Amino acid sequence: MTIYLDHAATTTIRPVALEALEDAYVRFDRNASGLHTEARKAKNALEEARERAASLLGTDRPHDIVFTGSGTEADNLGVIGATLGSDHKAIAVSAIEHKAVLNAAQSLTRFGYIVETIPVSTSGVVPVDRVPSGERPQLAVISVMAANNEIGTIQSVREIADAARLASPGVVVHTDAVQAFNSQTVTLEATGADLISLSSHKFGGPKGVGLLAVGQGVVIEPMIHGGGQEAGRRAGTYNVAGIVAMVAAMEAAAGDRAGFRDRTRAERDALESAIVAGFPGATVTARSADRLPHISHIRFPGVLAEDLLIRLDLAGIAAAAGSACQSGAVEPSHVLSALGFTDEAAGECIRFSFGWDTNQGEGWRAARAVLDILSDL
């Protein structure tokens, strides 16, 4: 039996989401934009899901939930859409954003926009006092993730948002809460953001669905043009089943945050303690920072991450080196570079990530497997 410790890359679909998906395909498999009865049934299911998603994200304006085809698309729409909707030409992003945010912002530089990168501390935290201020171009958008997908550090988005608004009145604050949703309260109010991106498959929903929650009055220029769906903000025939299933997973995840935190933290702590005790050179990245409970990033000095990963795989343990969305890339992770890791150190790191269906004891068993392999290398 494989011990799957790559939940930050993608989670197991929750039974409630799978049921909702199948049920929606059976009952509402029609084009929700049509005018006949079957289309209206699909539209009703879609709008009911939108209302539930809105209420989970703390807004009473369901039409400010824009369903997208992924977290990546939500990030792109948040960053590019809000920048194009603003009169200002500068964007600030933290150095450890997901590439969906970094590359979206970067794409605008070809059109004359300026991108400022906010550095992070060596423990992967965005310092509030590094938010751009003073004599400089007014920001259109600032994007700081709620929590990082590689090392798990949680950011003070609310304080960053306040500082940014002080320096650049009218700035739109975007936060990528893709990894945070499982364990943290994610609402417009709690994060202090104007825009929140989520991805269904990171909290037990189906892949290929995401959403962008849009705060009141925020102008978003659409990126996908067509039939005017999503109140003109994102065209394309509605993925009713995917959306309904995503919202079912959202409700399940939001309803189990305390349990998720307890279960994953227990497994993570067991893994980290056993590894650090058994291989004293090992260091847990950002161990003392405020971290998501389900992500553990560990450096094994002198050990090539690829070698360890392959042996772990043979031993039935699935983990990751660097960010899964970039796996296959030989470049060291930009997140680790931002923390000051050398390329060599970055190549000695493994990410173990836990999920809603992680079983008790898996953290400890994975640590034993790691230590057995290390003693053999």
* Distance of closest approach, residue 102 Cβ to ligand PLP, in angstroms: 10
Which segment (78-86, 172-180, 338-346, 348-356) binds ligand PLP by CB under 6 A?
172-180
| Whether 157 contacts 192, CB under 8 Å | yes
Of 72 and 358, the one with the shorter C-beta distance to ligand PLP is: 72
* Residue in 59, 72, 76, 358 binding ligand PLP, rule: CB under 6 A: 72
* Dist. CA 184–CA 176, nearest whole Å: 13
Closest CA to 77 of 245, 242, 199: 199
- Considering beta carbons, is residue 168 or 199 the nearer one to ligand PLP? 199
The sheet with strand 90-94 has its strands ordered as 65-68, 210-214, 195-199, 172-176, 139-143, 90-94, 114-118
CB 158 within 8 A of CB 188: no
Q: Which of 71, 78, 124, 204 contacts ligand PLP by CB under 6 A?
A: 71
Token couple for 144: 């700081």
CB of 208 to ligand PLP, least distance (A): 8
Contact between 155 and ligand PLP per CB under 6 A: no
Residue count, binding to ligand PLP (CB under 6 A) = 16
Quick one: which of 81, 210, 242, 363 contacts ligand PLP (CB under 6 A)? 210
Out of 4, 49, 65, 75, point to the residue binding ligand PLP (CB under 6 A).
75
CA–CA distances in Å: residue 155 to residues 145, 172, 288, 338, 359: 7, 17, 14, 15, 28
3-class secondary structure, 370: helix
Q: Would you tell me the crossing angle of helices 240-255 and 257-278 to the nearest 10 degrees?
A: 70
Draw the binding track, 92-131, toward ligand PLP (x: CB under 6 A; -: no contact): ------x-x-------------------------------
The answer to whether residues 352 and 270 touch, using CB atoms and an 8 Å cutoff, is no
Which residue number, 178 or 370, has a Cβ lying nearer to ligand PLP?
178
Which segment (64-72, 85-93, 120-128, 352-360) binds ligand PLP by CB under 6 A?
64-72
Applying CB under 6 A, the span of 22-30, 59-67, 69-77, 283-291 interacting with ligand PLP comes to 69-77
Measured CA to CA, the distance from residue 294 to residue 282 in angstroms comes to 19
**DSSP codes, 107-145:** HGGGGT-EEEEEP--TTS---GGGS--SSSPPEEEEE--
Which of the stretches 123-131, 173-181, 213-221, 293-301 binds ligand PLP when contact is defined by CB under 6 A? 173-181
Q: Are the C-beta atoms of 192 and 158 separated by less than 8 Å?
A: yes
**CB-nearest residue to ligand PLP:** 71
DSSP letter for 95, please: T
149 in contact with ligand PLP (CB under 6 A)? yes
When asked if residue 78 is in the footprint of ligand PLP (CB under 6 A), the reply is no
- Catalytically active residues, by annotation: 325
Binding residues (CB under 6 A) for ligand PLP: these are 70-72, 75, 98, 100, 145, 149, 176, 178-179, 199, 201, 210, 324-325
